[in-house]
A and B are shown apart, each in its own frame.
Chain A
Amino acid sequence: MSTTIEIDQDLKDTARRAVELARTHGATEASATAGRMREVEVQWRDGRLEKVSEATTRGLSLQLYLDGRYSSVSTSDLRPEALDRFIADGLAMTRALARDEHRRLPDAELYAGRAALDLSIEDPRQGQLSAEERQRFARELEEGARSADTTGAILSVTTGFGDLFRESYRVTSNGFEGGARGTQFVASAEVSVQDPDGRRPEESDSGFARFFEDLPAANVLGRRAGERALGRIGATKGESAVLPMAVDHKVSGRLVSMLLGSMSGASIQQKRSFLEGREGEKVGSDLLTLKDEPHVKRGLGSRLFDGEGIAARELTLFEQGVLRSYFIDSYYGRKLQRRPTTSSPSNLAWTLGTKARAGLLEDLRDGILVTGFLGGNSSAVTGDFSLGVQGFRVRGGQLAEPVSEMNISGNQLDLWKRLVAVGADPYPFSSARTPSLVFEGVQFAGR
């Protein structure tokens, strides 16, 4: 087991004391997570500082079990007398509930097998960043964005830089103890431009990483945001048609999250999922091969154990279109009489194709590249979806005019069978790491 992570002694004490207090007040079982976070954010707009914010917080969350009765409580009020009363109140609430035999801590055997790895998710640089460095990054983001503008179309540029450190420690009354520490950095540039027709379209780009050095250079990121925004000028509503659709890797995660949203133990057991009962069935094309990988170095979703303390393991989700597993936590595992997998995704890993976006568009020839989604929804139980989109018309394998104010609609069981190409370009700034995706025969609504 990895013992290299040194967790703050106060957090350990708080979590252990909370579990003890819960037991003293009558809980049969309890788990507690104590955490603290420090975050700093600067926002820069049109040549000067717009906003600086900074915070340090600590908090405690507790799961209380009392003979099949269950509640979860959390507080930021850690004054000793308040904490004691808070736990007593939590148990009083728990006592009033009905019994549910499935409400217990995870079986202790699920804690076993935790990998002894250094996930490299904490950058020591975070504690050393100065206010000047953060502001300089934000300023350079703006300069990058403005460097893309040769016609004076840019109306306003808002950029931001933020970083945070988070540390937590979890203790359960049936033997689990574990801590995690990590850092995150985020840089973003939002650019608003004047369209001759009176609209003021905006576009943004952002980077998100565990290590400062993994962020893109400020001028590169800023310039890309500027180019994206300028590219929106003159967007029009395309015609309603059935067309091939490429989805840029920056936004393709939206489609994947609709799919994953129907794979939780709760949605399976509650029969609210179009994927219920389809394990082992082919629900997508051969190209839909997807795993959950918790141990990626520097990964945004990397972890050694999940929110319940279950040891993290690689999980195959789809194999050549065949559904292999769901995200089952210990409560729904008991209800479904199945072994839990894990409560939620960590980092996703696709079996990638060989071409990045440009190559995919060449193969696509005639269709639409989607670069942004707007609103919309998907019915978890039927898989019917309808989403607002914007992007570009693709003609002869090249980007043509920008399009906006369009919709796509269909059913997910049909859509994923229409997946005809997977890019070589996983999006690095999200734990979903989704590449560009291409689907054939998608219904677009427009003019």
Chain B
Amino acid sequence: MTRSDLMGEALADSTAGAGGPVASIGYFSRFGITEGLIRETLAAALSRGGDYCDLFFQHRVSTAMGLEDGVVSRASSQVELGVGVRVIKGDQTGYAYTEDLTRDAMRSAARTAAAIADGPSRTAPQHFHVFKDVPKRYVLQTNWDAVRPERKLPLLERLNAAAFKADGRVSKVTVSFSDEHGAILVADSTGRLVEDVQPMTSLYLSCVAEQNGKREQNAYGVAGRSGMEFYGEERLDRIVREAVGRTTILFESSQPPAGEMPVVLAAGSSGILLHEAIGHGMEADFNRKGTSIYADKINKPIAHPFVNIVDDGTNEYARGAINVDDEGNVPDKTMLVENGVLTTFLHDSISARHYKVKPTGNGRRESYRHAPLPRMRSTYMLPGPHKSEEIIASVKKGIYCSNFTNGQVNIGAGDFTFYVKNGYLIEDGKLTRPIKDVNIIGNGPKVLEQVDMVADDLVIDEGGWTCGKDGQGVPVSQGIPTVRVASITVGGRNA
């Protein structure tokens, strides 16, 4: 069971990385554009009278390396460069992008996006101001574009050797490593320019083990907006310990019985429950359209008073952290549920305008190829009044879930699932037989009402979670203390 504390380690990294001023990002040279070109493009975007428009420039270099059968046998690298042009008219959006940052191509994209509106042209800003108060939530010792492959290789080889050494049953190991150096520039029709650099790294160790002719496979991954310094001794040891331990325990594990029962969720990645059960339903686009099950529940109690849920962009170095969202807004800590009461939706600028509120900094997009949508960042539950031991001891017959692979939700009906890869049966208040491979299904509002115990041991998971919506994937984090759900449907067998 994981008890890793991402926040603690991230803060240590922060101290190490925060020396000296941050050099200017130098976007104009990076993108080969000028203020004049931005002005002309914005003018073309407003040529049919949109209410608002923005340009999203992005340059992203990502690399990945993979080790299998003891050899780093593949590496890949991807360069993305482009600009997305968005024009908004009321709730309507015109969007176009181009990967050719020439004057003609950008103007043509802008005219395409402009077609959403149908009125007299509006004036583009004559002057621009660079937004200076961008927070610094991920300052690296060295940017990834300056880290040579020779420095990364030994990391993969070390993990491979350690995994085989950790347990004689391990028969195949793969290690995947990736890093990303990204830069964005948002320019909008109010004359605002906002820039950010967005690093990311992730590492994933996967094992196959064999015992008496049977095979099992499992993995452990970490991710963060960090540099090479992320991969310290302690974290590397944990990756190996978790990946191997989570694999070999599967030999003793079986699917639990099927049906409704109490479920205890371990602190950490169980935060997937919040992401699926409430987070998506609180994204304002679904509520603006009236299609979310939470659309009419603002200011209403939906959970016990000790339940507090936030969506937070500010956790330093977390995978779900952002300095600015992809509309150039600075994110905050947004309370979704305060003392059991539903408080606010997650907004992008369209929904914020619709609801006449300030954007919450949740306007995110996968890349310049996509228009932004309200998306989660790091979603977690604050600590509660109970103790984890007390929670486990309270269950006569149920399951304890510790590791997850994925989850999904139907926003309107509220039905959601999450998939448990490892866990235990709870019998008479004690963890007994290990369980595996079971999907759990529930209904968001019903399950939140059923969260009847919350411990004081919040953990934000360090894993590489990616949230998918409308075909766009964005990096997110999640976390939760140990909680009890009084009753929920467990897949499983032999009803």
Q: B149–A73 contact, CB under 8 A? A: no
Partner of A200, one of B413, B441, B442: B413
Nearest residue in A to B174 (C-beta to C-beta)?
A: A270
Contact with A along B212-248 (1 / 0, CB 8 A): 0011110000000000000000000000000000000
Partner of B258, one of A70, A232, A445: A445
Q: A200–B293 contact, CB under 8 A? A: yes
Q: Which stretch, B79-87, B161-169, B391-399, touches the partner chain A?
A: B79-87
Q: Does B473 sit at the interface, judged by CB under 8 A?
A: no
Partner of B439, one of A49, A54, A76, A377: A377
Q: Assuming A48-B92, A55-B97, A380-B217, is B416 touching A410 (CB within 8 A)? A: no
Q: B290–A388 contact, CB under 8 A? A: no
Q: B99–A59 contact, CB under 8 A? A: yes
- Give chain A interface residues in 343-364, CB to chain B under 8 Å: none
A202 to B81, CA, bound (A): 37
Interface size class on chain A is 35 or more
Q: Does A237 sit at the interface, judged by CB under 8 A?
A: yes
A162 to B280, CA, bound (A): 25
Residues of B within 8 A of A212 (CB): none
User: Closest approach, in angstroms, between the C-beta of B363 and any C-beta of chain A?
Assistant: 15
Q: A72–B76 contact, CB under 8 A? A: yes
Nearest residue in B to A408 (C-beta to C-beta)?
A: B491
Taking each of A72, A335, A385, A407, which has the highest tally of chain B beta carbons within 10 Å of its own beta carbon?
A407
Q: Does B135 sit at the interface, judged by CB under 8 A?
A: no
User: Closest approach, in angstroms, between the C-beta of B204 and any C-beta of chain A?
Assistant: 14
Interface SS of chain A: strand
Contact with A along B165-178 (1 / 0, CB 8 A): 00000011010000
Residues of B within 8 A of A384 (CB): 255, 436-437
Q: Does B4 sit at the interface, judged by CB under 8 A?
A: no
User: Closest approach, in angstroms, between the C-beta of A346 and any C-beta of chain B?
Assistant: 22
User: Closest approach, in angstroms, between the C-beta of A191 and any C-beta of chain B?
Assistant: 10
Partner of A98, one of B71, B95, B148, B413: B71
Q: A388–B494 contact, CB under 8 A? A: no
A58 to B92, CA, bound (A): 27
Q: Does A129 sit at the interface, judged by CB under 8 A?
A: no
Contact with B along A388-414 (1 / 0, CB 8 A): 101000000000000011111110000
User: Closest approach, in angstroms, between the C-beta of B297 and any C-beta of chain A?
Assistant: 9
Q: Does B443 sit at the interface, judged by CB under 8 A?
A: yes
Q: B78–A131 contact, CB under 8 A? A: no
A303 to B217, CA, bound (A): 34
Q: Does A51 sit at the interface, judged by CB under 8 A?
A: yes
Q: B438–A53 contact, CB under 8 A? A: no
Q: B489–A73 contact, CB under 8 A? A: no
Residues of A within 8 A of B491 (CB): 376, 386-388, 407-409, 445
Q: Does B143 sit at the interface, judged by CB under 8 A?
A: no
Residues of B within 8 A of A46 (CB): 289
Partner of A407, one of B93, B112, B258: B258
Q: A271–B417 contact, CB under 8 A? A: no
Q: A71–B489 contact, CB under 8 A? A: no
Q: B94–A53 contact, CB under 8 A? A: yes
Q: A75–B290 contact, CB under 8 A? A: no
Q: Does A214 sit at the interface, judged by CB under 8 A?
A: no
Q: Does A198 sit at the interface, judged by CB under 8 A?
A: yes
Q: B408–A375 contact, CB under 8 A? A: yes
A103 to B71, CA, bound (A): 11
Q: B98–A201 contact, CB under 8 A? A: no
Partner of B405, one of A82, A90, A377: A377
Q: Does B73 sit at the interface, judged by CB under 8 A?
A: yes
Q: B74–A45 contact, CB under 8 A? A: no
Q: A447–B259 contact, CB under 8 A? A: yes
Residues of A within 8 A of B73 (CB): 70, 97-98, 100, 102-103
Q: B493–A410 contact, CB under 8 A? A: yes
Q: Does B252 sit at the interface, judged by CB under 8 A?
A: no
Q: B441–A271 contact, CB under 8 A? A: no
Q: Does A281 sit at the interface, judged by CB under 8 A?
A: no
Q: A45–B289 contact, CB under 8 A? A: yes
Nearest residue in A to B254 (C-beta to C-beta)?
A: A384
Q: Assuming A96-B149, A98-B153, A201-B410, is B116 touching A49 (CB within 8 A)? A: yes
Taking each of A74, A237, A379, which has the highest tally of chain B beta carbons within 10 Å of its own beta carbon?
A379
Subset of 25 A-B contacts with CB under 8 Å: A50-B93, A51-B95, A55-B97, A55-B98, A57-B82, A58-B99, A73-B79, A90-B77, A92-B149, A93-B149, A96-B148, A96-B150, A97-B65, A200-B292, A240-B258, A270-B174, A270-B208, A375-B407, A375-B439, A376-B439, A376-B491, A379-B436, A381-B217, A382-B216, A404-B413
Chain B residues with a Cβ under 8 A of chain A = 32, 63, 65, 68-69, 71-82, 91-100, 109, 112-113, 115-116, 148-150, 153, 171-172, 174, 208, 210, 214-217, 255, 258-260, 289-293, 295, 369, 371, 405-419, 421, 436-443, 445, 489-495
The 10 nearest A-B residue pairs measured at CB: A375-B417, A445-B258, A375-B408, A407-B491, A240-B495, A200-B412, A386-B491, A386-B439, A96-B149, A53-B95
Q: A57-B99, A96-B150, A100-B73 are in contact. List 18 more A-B contacts (CB 8 A).
A: A50-B93, A51-B92, A52-B95, A57-B98, A73-B78, A93-B149, A98-B153, A100-B71, A198-B293, A200-B295, A200-B412, A201-B412, A202-B411, A270-B208, A375-B417, A376-B491, A386-B437, A390-B415
Chain A residues with a Cβ under 8 A of chain B = 45-46, 48-59, 70-79, 82, 86, 89-90, 92-94, 96-100, 102-103, 131, 155-156, 158, 192, 195, 198-202, 232, 235, 237, 240-242, 270-272, 335, 374-377, 379-382, 384-388, 390, 404-410, 443-447
